[in-house]
Amino acid sequence: MSTTHHTAGSSTSNFDAIFDAALNEYEAITGKSLTSLPFYERLSACHSPEDISNLFRDQAQDFSKVCKREEKLMAWLNPIINILFTVSATLAEGAGQVSRLTHFV
């Protein structure tokens, strides 16, 4: 039985090939290059699994902040939407009654 020893160099080149193929496929599907995004620059600067974990943790925190802002916005907008909907329904009902009266006369 033979064994194959992978060196760090061959693992890196395999990863690079897979990563490059993924970048090319993303660009083919979306028409956008990931390499032009600020996130790609930050990802390229990562030199260890811990660096990558920290990058994703930062992204998750940023996403959480956006979600919290959206929740605050929606909490502010929901009462306004409900009022507008009620006013609109009332106006539509009134317009319907005026329309029926015009046809009657």
Distance CA 92, CA 25 (A): 51
Q: Is 0.95 topped by the overall pTM?
A: no
What average pLDDT does range 21-48 have in this prediction?
89
The pLDDT, as a whole number, for residue 10 is 62
Q: Which long-range contacts (CB under 8 A, 24 or more apart) does 7-15 make?
A: none
Q: What is the pLDDT of residues 58-75, one digit of tens each?
A: 999 998 888 888 888 888
11 vs 16, 26, 51, 64, 101, CA distance in Å?
Answer: 9, 22, 19, 35, 81
DSSP per-residue codes, 24-64: HHHHHHHS--GGGSHHHHHHHT--SHHHHHHHHHHHHHHHH
